[in-house]
Every structure is written in C-alpha cells, then in structure tokens.
Chain A
Amino acid sequence: MTPTISENLAHAALEINDLTVAYIQQGSQKPALWDVDLRVPEGVLMGIVGPNGAGKSTLIKASLELLPRAAGDVRFFGRSYHQARRQVGYVPQRGSVDWDFPTTVLDVVMMGLYGRMGWVRRPGKPDRARAFQALEQVGLADYADRQISRLSGGQQQRTFLARALVQDAQLYFMDEPFAAVDAVTERAIVELLRQLRQQGKTVIVVHHDLSTVSEYFDQVTLLNREIVASGPVNQVFTDQNLQKAYGGRLNFNVGVGQVGAA
C-alpha cells in the first residue's frame, strides 16, 4: 500500500487505496477494477463517468462491501465500512429491486430509517412524519400511499432519493440516478444534490451524460477500469482525459462544458 498524504490531513469522506475487484468469467478471474486509488474530500459533489463496462457501479458496490475485493482498502472518514456504516447512504440503480413488491411509497422511504431502529423495533409516528417530510422534499407527497409499481420511472427514482435522505448519512453513493428519468425528476435530483452539498454532505454519483457533468458536479472521476483522472471538473474534464477514458468512442470538439456523446 502506498503511503498517503491524507494521513497528515483531515480524513477524506472516501479514500480508496489500491482497490482491485475481479469478476469470474468462464472460470477465470478478470479484473473489473484495476488498482484504483481515489480520494474524495468532504462536502463535494463528485461525478463518476466512463464508458459502459468501466466498472463505475462495481467501484461503489466494492466500496460498500456488496462485492468482494480482490485487493485494496476503502476508508470512510478514516474508518472501515463496518464502523462508518451509519454515515454512508446508498441509492442503488432503480432496476435493482422488484417494484411489484407489495408495499407503498411511504413504506419504502421509511426503510431508510430501519438501520437506526435496530432489530425488532417497529417504525412509529415520528418515523412516518420524517419519511413524509422527505417525500415532500422530492415532490412525491401526493403519492405516499401508492403502490410502488404504479409510479413512473422518475417517481421511483425520487422515492429512492427520499429513502436516502431519511438515512441522514454524511456520504451518499448514487448509482445512475439520472438514468432514463423525466425532466421534472432530473431537476429535482439536481436541486437535492445542491441541498445536500449545502448541508456539508458528500455525494458520489455514477453519471452517464457527459454534457451535464460540469453543470452538476464540483469534481469528476474519469474511470475505465483504472482511474484515468480525478479532481476538480475544470482541471480534469478535458478533451485529452476524455479521449483517454473513452478511446475512439466519442466525438469531441471542445473541452469543459461542451462535450457531447456521439
């Protein structure tokens, strides 16, 4: 493990050292992530971009110990995931759950509070109120009692966001929250991200739309199995780095702010 500068400084919200994750294909191991080092300071909105199969979701899942790590170490505010679990919120991809599950929107949001309740205890009135408030924040208060399959994709995404909000974490991971959502939801998510930053929270978002990166995020990580570049958007989000991350799969004409996916 390389010695890190951060040891002398305040702890970063997220610090990944030498993380390698492998997946098994036809019996042999292949790296999905290759010796990743990443440091995300507290209070920033960080976008993670890269081509399909670059390992963006894998990076999140391996950090949260949802996937086994082949090597490396991940620290949250200087502590292991086990110790920092309460401070870490996760908004998975919408498709990762069964939306036909017999439950309501408010119920799903309340799930974000289960961690604090511990075993056996039931959610009470204050928990319902807290969940309802989060639904108001994402503009879904009118849908509280609705069965979750009767929501549009964007509304489902906002339900997940409300659930993350009630978790009241310090660090959030969001896996493609902007994927296939309507304009209303997109605006709501952006608004929410800004609110979170104002509260001093750190948010790491897997993102696929290069044209909005510089508008939405302070920092960006370009990933393609390895870290191509990571840092403030205006320094890192350059043609050269994008070319490196995406290879020949993109057409660029200009750098920061005007990149378009072909």
Chain B
Amino acid sequence: MAFLERLVIDLLLRFWSVEQLNAALSDPRTVALIVGGLVAVATALPGVILLLRKSALTADAISHSVLFGIVVAFLVMLALGADPDLSSPWLIVGAAAAGVITVVLTEAIQRSGLVKADAALGLVFPFLFAAAVIMVTRYIPNVHLDADAVMVGEIGAAWANTNSYCLDHCDEVIITPEHPKAEVGRRCLNCTPGGITPRDPRAQFEALCANCGTYSAAEAWRLRLIDAPPALIFFPRAIITVGLAALINVLFVILLYKELKLSTFDPALARSFGFRPGLISLALMALVSLTAVAAFDAVGAVLVVAFFIIPAGTAYLLTDRLWRMYLIAAVVGIVAVIGGYDLARGYLMGFEINRLLEMLDKLIGLGGYTEWNVSISASMVVFMFLIFLLVWVASPRYGLISLMIRRRWQQLNFGTQLMLGHVYNHRESPNAPVECAPETLHEHLNWSQRKTSRLMALARTQNWLRIEDGLITLTDQGEARVRAFREG
C-alpha cells in the first residue's frame, strides 16, 4: 500500500507542487469528492453485472457478511501473534472470502430444494453478520466499531486520516558541538566564589552544548535548525484503498468484457465454450466483497448497497448497450457524489437550503433550526435516488412518460384500425348506409360518441378515410392499411 501511495504521489507531483497538493488533500470537500468518486466507479461496474444477473440483493448480503470475514481474519492474525491493523490487506482477503462463502452457502441451501433462493440468501447473511457482531464484542473489545460508522461511514473525515510522506529535507538532524547551529557554551569546573574566576588563566573548562542531540526533520524545522522545511505530503489513506478497488474493477470489466457478457446473458453457451461461468461468478462475488470492504470506511455497509445498485438501475433505463451502461452508471455515481456532498452542506444545485429553513423558521417556527448539516453519504444516496427518479420518469425510451405516450399511441392506433376494419368489412354490404354512417358508427362499435369522433378525426387527418354522401369510405391508403394489419 505504502509503495502504491508513493507511486501516486510521485505521479501527482509531476503536475502540482507540494504546497498545491497539500492544500488540495487537506480540503475536506476535495478529498470527499475524490474518495466518493472512486467509490462510485468501483461499485457501479460490478453493480451493473449484479443488476443484469437479477442478483441486486446479493450486494446487500455481501456488504453485511464481509464484516464476518474481517473479524475472523483479525482473530486469526491475533492468534498467530501478528499485530493486526485495521488496514491490513489480510483483512480484505478475509472479507473477500466471506463474500464468496455467503454465495456458496446460499447456493448449497438452495440446492437442497427445500428453501427458495431469496430465502436462502436471507438466511445466510444475517447469520454471518450476527456471528461477526458477537465475535467483535466478545473477543475484540478494544476495536472501535460504532453503529454510525457501520451504517453510513465517515467520508467527511476521510481527509483527516492520512499517511505522511517526506519528500525532501527529511533526514534526521544531528547537532554536534561542531554544528554551526549548535548552541555551545562552557562551564568552569574549578571556579569558586572569591577564588578562581572564569577569567583566571588557571580556570579549567568543560564544553557544553545546549541543543546537541538528534532531531526529526519536523522538529528540526520547528526549532529552525535547518533552513528549509521538510517537504511533507499528507495523503488520505482512503484514496488508495478505494482507488485500488476501482482500478481492479475497471480492469475486470474491460479485460473480461465478453466473458462477463456471455456468462450473464447465456451461461449455458459460456459453459459450452469453456468459459467457466461458475468461476467468473465467484470472482465477481469476491470483487463485490473487496469493493464493499474498501468502501466501508467511506460510506458504511448499508449505504454501499445503494452505490452498487442505483447507478446501474439508472443506466439500465438509459441505454441498451452494455459498455454504455457501465459508463453511464459510473457517471451517475460520480454526479451523485458531487451533488450529494453539496446537498449535505446545504446546497441543492446552487440553491441554499439554509435560506429556506430561515424562511420556514420565521413563518412556522422551527425553533431556530436554520443550519442544514447532515450525513454526507446519506445525502449522496438521496441525490442518487433523485437522479434515478428523474430518469425513471423522463428517460426517452424506457421512462414512464414515454411508456405512457407509447401506450396511448398504440391505443389510438389500434382503435383506428378497428374502425377502418369495420368500414372495410361492411363497405359493400347492403346495410352499409347504417353500418358506415358517421352518426351511427359508435353504436355498432359500442364505443362512446366522443371516442368514435376523435378517432374518426384522427383517421381523416391521416387521409385513411373520408366522408362522402354521408357515408364513411376508405381511401386507398386506408384499405392498404387494413390489409397490412390483417396479414400481420
């Protein structure tokens, strides 16, 4: 991890100076947006596959059961005498294993044929979660795992949890009496009051150094023992954890693009090609677990589910190409992270919520509550849902509005077809004057007069029928339409 952080820092320093970088990385908003954006990318990609496999709830299950893996790995390391640290990669391995165990156990229970799939999932993950909670409280009392952090994470504090790296003037400073900054003095060893004075040539001296010793670079700078400050970078830890998860997932969906597509769309064919859909499935679950752990600090075990599913669900309504779905899901996630952060701080797309609160306070009295300041990750999820809502209603092809318009259009189209068909059947029969008269047509079709005249008007504007001598007659186009409709 440290190696990777150093690599990223070196890369960033090609574009920015140390001061600029430190300024950016100590800004809570910037760090929260970087971490949140990376969480969004890392979760949206596997989320798309989960959604297409109709196993969205697996994300929920896994995000809970990873806690079990973390705790077991923690206890194993403790038993082996290692000093487990919460950011150890072994805990992530444990978590990934727990995710896979969840899926394997669920499938085993389901394969017995006695319990359905959804119930099997619902049996396994709460058990693992509960077992983890018991183990935490019984064996690891010192670990601070509060309910808030588990549920919503602490993305707002991501900037404060850093590793520091020193780039320049980092060496320890050793002050010896010869050092130019040494504060040297001397003490007379044999001076006595009224006897030998320090000016006396017989006086013997001992060299004294007030500040000799070893100093860390930071201390040395504070005491001005060196001329330039050490160049320190304070790098938020979450960026690397979440960034690594995002990178792995991006590589996964790019490299195995066609394998994922085929084993999701048609697992039987994937198997017959030797692509091991079962193995791909387990790899996916391991990645979902890993991602859930990486995102745990930032957004918690509960809200991470929304990050997996909502952007994918939104993208599903906007496109019918898989690669675009990946892309849109990631973008939706990132937009929601930005919008959600500002929403938590009281701004909804440039509008100040605080002003509304002030107004309401004056109007109905909120007891002086005029400061809107709420959970950041929760706001991101709310914003995400707002995007989904907008798309669900207004998506050009799969939205509610376009669905309603299409249904309405189909109804009208079918109605005019029926009307044209009726006229077509009766156009040459002896009772055509009754069957095909514009005034009585609605009786024969058993429709309301309003519907009949509206559809008749529609058919006339399309030049499918006209009214001649008080009779409805089909135009050539109208007749062609009836025939085409009947032939299907």
Interface residues of A (CB under 8 A from B): 24, 26-27, 64-66, 85, 88, 90, 92, 96-98, 101-104, 107-108, 111-112, 114-115, 117, 119-120, 122-123, 147, 149, 182
Contacts and interface: CB of A to CB of B under 8 A. Distances in A.
Given A101-B52, A102-B52, A64 B272 contact: yes
B266 A111 contact: yes
Interface in B252-275: 255-259, 261-262, 264-266, 268-275
B319 interface: yes
A101 B319 CA distance: 10
B321 interface: yes
Interface in B442-488: 488
B141 interface: no
Given A119-B259, A122-B257, A147 B268 contact: no
B265 A101 contact: yes
A104 B266 CA distance: 14
Nearest to B315: A102
A97 B265 contact: yes
B325 interface: yes
Contacts of A65: 271
B272 A88 contact: yes
Contacts of B275: 114, 119
Interface residue range, chain B: 20 to 34
B69 to A, nearest CB: 28
Given A98-B54, A101-B322, 12 more contacts: A66-B268, A90-B272, A96-B268, A101-B52, A102-B52, A102-B319, A102-B321, A102-B322, A111-B266, A114-B273, A119-B256, A122-B258
| Interface of B (DSSP majority class) | helix
Given A85-B272, A90-B272, A115-B272, A103 B320 contact: yes
Contact of B256 (A90, A120, A182): A120
Given A24-B113, A111-B262, A120-B256, A92 B320 contact: no
A119 B257 CA distance: 10
A147 B113 CA distance: 36
Contact of A102 (B256, B316, B488): B316
Interface string B106-139: 0000000110000000000000000000000000
Nearest to B321: A102
Contacts of B258: 111, 114, 117, 122-123
A88 B319 CA distance: 34
A149 B319 CA distance: 13
Given A104-B321, A147-B320, A115 B274 contact: yes
B71 to A, nearest CB: 35
A123 B262 CA distance: 13
B430 to A, nearest CB: 35
A75 to B, nearest CB: 16
Contact of A103 (B271, B273, B322): B322
B233 to A, nearest CB: 37
A90 B274 contact: no
Contacts of A98: 52, 54, 265
Interface in B311-342: 316, 319-322, 324-325
A40 to B, nearest CB: 18
29 contacts: A24-B113, A26-B113, A64-B272, A85-B273, A92-B266, A92-B268, A96-B266, A97-B265, A98-B52, A98-B54, A98-B265, A101-B265, A102-B52, A102-B322, A103-B261, A103-B322, A107-B261, A111-B258, A111-B261, A111-B262, A114-B273, A114-B275, A115-B272, A115-B274, A119-B275, A122-B257, A122-B258, A147-B320, A149-B320
